[in-house]
Structure 1
Amino acid sequence: MTSHKAPRLRPGPAPLKKTLTAAGAYVIAIIFIFPYLQMIIAALRPREEQREAVYLPSSFHWSAFVEFWSGGLAGNLLVTLEVAAGSTILVLLVALPAAYYSARHDFRGRMVFLFLVLITQMFQPTAMLVGIYREFAQFGMVDSVWSLILVNGGFNLAFAVWILHAYFASIPRELEEAAAMDGSGRFGVLFRITLPLAMPGVVTALIFTFIAAWNEFVVALTLTTTPENQPLTVALNSYIGQYQVDWQSLFAGSVIATIPVIVLFALIERKVVSGLTAGSIK
């Protein structure tokens, strides 16, 4: 008997479609990264060279970053972190039970409740600044971090309820019923079964709320009066004068303000993958 060996297949070149897709992805990434790179270079560029039409400066100066911490803006960065974190925690504490109950219970007026939640998403804080200011002034909460937390939490609550309602509704009820038959209580079912499966939705609501509160400017400018109680978005506005702009300090503060958001995305990406994996296992 003669044995015939199968011919070896040589790996061919990468498909043209795959190559073009990768090239397009790199081009898009460069387009999005370029403004941040320009911001870093402008922060390191000496003040006397800010108006020169040269991409790279003659030397890199770190003075703007040192002045950021010595000039008191570190306290404004802490205020921004408190407002963003507080708003996110508030939204999750309110949106999780509201979305879970509306997804699991067919109560009277359920669609009206969801419709009203959707309507509140249409309102913007800018159109309600006068009423917001008068309300917090009556309670003596003007120039307070708590007022910013309440406003940012309230205006991001609608999106969180809708996205979490969609995730909770997509989870089969049979999984919760099986866990209940195994002896798990209502809270045990929620924290051991439902929340791990809905983790992508929770993370989406967390990211949306945190970044929206982190970047908010108009309400913070209206409700805060003293420099030490202002978030970083308002404090950076002090570098923009009537006749000149301190571009080096402005860009240095913007770079520092961007770093926590990047770190958050790096941490959240792992949680999204773990949440999806946990859902597939359970």
Structure 2
Amino acid sequence: MLISSLKSREDIAKIPPDYLPASPQWDNYLTVWASNVAPGGALLATTVIALGATLLVLLVATPAAYYIARFRFPGRLAFLFLVLITQMLQPTVLAVGLYQEFSSWRGPLVWVALILINAAFNLSFAIWIMQAFFASVPKEVDEAALIDGAGRLQTLFRISLPLVWPGIVTAIVFVFVNTWNEYAAAFILVQDPALQPLTVAMPRFLGLYVRDWQYLFTTAMVAVVPVIILFAFIERRLIGGLTAGAVK
């Protein structure tokens, strides 16, 4: 993908093709950057939606997972089962309902709609994985903090959260990446080209008569770099979250 992003249209259409470009076309990145893909267009839209959905999921999933892990209440298993069922529903299946619900949301409000949709579809995963980490921490740790005078919220934020940080990081990464790559809901709801995220904006370079593959690959490179940087910074904690509990 990187090599193809540095080719010209003639190099890509050449038969037989050459693996390396005859002359690297760094101008491809300048052309894409000057378009509405970045920085103030599709890249901004994708970033706002991904960060907004991730933050909303954390705000809702953290106390929900903590409460489920620490307390037994009537209907607990039924609640967890209903949460799990939401994983079976994808935006494509609910396309008609989503359009009817949010079709009147225009302008920047459509980003709010996508934040709500992506948060809803990723919330169940975050609750399940985070409640497993909260459950792995002995209740006696919380009880000791409560005896020392800490409130329930203080116990959650100052005692429990640092102990389950790998699980939180794992949830953050998966929610962020899933939202960053989401296509169906964005394609259905965002009709204004100036507000479309990267996943919807990329196919614009493939027209009916002209196919600018070099710009498509360039845009794809712009789209994957932030995710690669995210993984590079939190790789250790992510691996710790994925492997936690593998060995007893």
CA distance in 1, matches of 2:204, 2:239: 41
2:90 corresponds to 1:124: yes
The gaps in structure 1 that reach 5 residues or longer are: 1-38, 276-282
Name the structure 1 match of 2:8: 46
The structural deviation recorded for 1:177 is 1.1
2:7 maps to a residue whose letter is R
CA distance in 1, matches of 2:8, 2:89: 43
Give the TM-score of the pair, scaled to structure 2. 0.90
2:190 corresponds to 1:187: no
Give the TM-score of the pair, scaled to structure 1. 0.80
Sequence identity (%)? 51
CA distance in 1, matches of 2:34, 2:209: 25
CA distance in 1, matches of 2:161, 2:120: 22
Of residues 224, 229, 241, the one that matches 2:195 is 229
2:11 maps to a residue whose letter is E
The structural deviation recorded for 1:243 is 3.8
Counterpart mapping for 1:148-227 below 5 A: 148-227=114-193
2:206 corresponds to 1:249: no
Show CA shifts across 1:93-113 (max 9, x none).
Answer: 111111111111100000000
Name the structure 1 match of 2:245: none
Name the structure 2 match of 1:65: 29
Show CA shifts across 1:18-73 (max 9, x none).
Answer: xxxxxxxxxxxxxxxxxxxxx00000012211123211111101111001111121
The gaps in structure 2 that reach 5 residues or longer are: 242-248
Contact 1:164 1:202 in 2 (8 A): yes
The count of corresponding residues between Structure 1 and Structure 2 is 236
Name the structure 1 match of 2:113: 147
CA distance in 2, matches of 1:84, 1:148: 9
The structural deviation recorded for 1:150 is 0.7
The 3 A distance-change label for structure 1 pair 223 and 165 is same
2:2 maps to a residue whose letter is I
